[in-house]
């Protein structure tokens, strides 16, 4: 019984394949040849609207099935078609068209303040590139970071476009800019002076009950001042009472 069922299924499978091959290789080609088929016109290189109109006049339907983003071909130009031109095709068939569209514009990211390596990675991920790198001293940006870029952040450019950047070399050799110390703790003021290659000078204490003890109230040289050599910056810091001042003086001895 099992063998009969198996044989029946095998026979049914073979018969189905033969019927499919008959229609695919013999019946359908004969039907198409007998039908109203003509050679397909060539619409490649034509603007989409015109190409679809010419296909319609010839008895075909044109539809966009693929898009290529490029700046080398006029937008809406038909790049390819399927079936290809010259092939005999039955009237009423849908012809698939590949067309060109303008390249997508990319928003330029902000690179200023980032390291050179980070900027390069970000640019590459967007399909852009860095074609010019300048190097200059810049006191506003640490050495090795991007201090300037063109196009600027937020501008839109095409994929493959090259950017220009300037990499900071940090402070010039003879450039000493006094930082803003007001409101900093005495310890943080010392660190900021060290980073600016300056030194902490005389510390004067002034009673002030509204601020945290040892907060910088004033400095001897205004912030932003550019000096030609390393100098000492005197500061005035807050204390809560005279005992704090006495303790501070004793600690300095």
Q: How large is the average pLDDT for residues 90-104? A: 88
Phi and psi at 111, nearest 5°, equal -110, -20
CA distances from 49 to 78, 102, 220 (A): 10, 16, 76
Neighbours of 132 (CB within 10 A): 10
Dihedral sign for Cα 14, 20, 25, 30, please. positive
pLDDT beyond 90 at 113: yes
pTM: 0.46
Between 4-8, 164-168, 186-190, 212-216, the lowest mean confidence (pLDDT) is in 4-8
Q: 83 preceded by cis ω (within 30°)?
A: yes
CA angle, 234 then 225 then 114, to 5°: 110
pLDDT beyond 70 at 87: yes
Rounded Cα–Cα distance for residues 236 and 214 (Å)? 9
Summarize pLDDT for 160-186 with one digit per residue, the tens: 788 999 999 988 888 888 999 999 999
pLDDT beyond 60 at 53: yes
Q: How large is the average pLDDT for residues 226-230? A: 86
pLDDT beyond 80 at 16: no
């Amino acid at each position: 019984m099992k063998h009969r069922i198996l044989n029946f299924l095998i026979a049914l499978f073979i018969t189905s394949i033969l019927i499919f091959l008959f229609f695919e290789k013999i019946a359908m080609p004969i039907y198409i040849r007998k039908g109203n088929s003509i050679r397909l016109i060539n619409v490649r290189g034509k603007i989409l609207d015109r190409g679809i109109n010419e296909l319609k006049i010839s008895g075909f339907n044109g539809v966009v099935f693929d898009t290529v983003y490029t700046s080398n071909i006029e937008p809406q130009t038909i790049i390819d078609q399927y079936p290809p031109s010259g092939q005999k095709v039955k009237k009423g068939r849908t012809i698939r068209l590949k067309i060109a569209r303008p390249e997508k514009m990319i928003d330029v990211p902000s690179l200023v303040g980032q390291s050179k390596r980070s900027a390069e990675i970000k640019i590459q991920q967007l399909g852009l590139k860095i074609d010019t790198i300048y190097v200059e001293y810049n006191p506003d940006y640490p050495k090795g970071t991007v201090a300037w870029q063109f196009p600027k952040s937020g501008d839109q450019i095409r994929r493959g476009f090259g950017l220009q950047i300037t990499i900071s070399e940090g402070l010039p050799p003879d450039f000493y800019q006094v930082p803003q110390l007001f409101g900093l703790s005495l310890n943080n003021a010392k660190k900021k002076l060290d980073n600016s290659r300056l030194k902490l000078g005389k510390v004067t204490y002034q009673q002030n009950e509204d601020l945290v003890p040892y907060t910088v109230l004033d400095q001897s040289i205004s912030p932003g001042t550019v000096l030609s050599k390393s100098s000492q910056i005197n500061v005035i810091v807050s204390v809560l009472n005279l005992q704090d001042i006495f303790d501070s003086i004793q600690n300095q001895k």
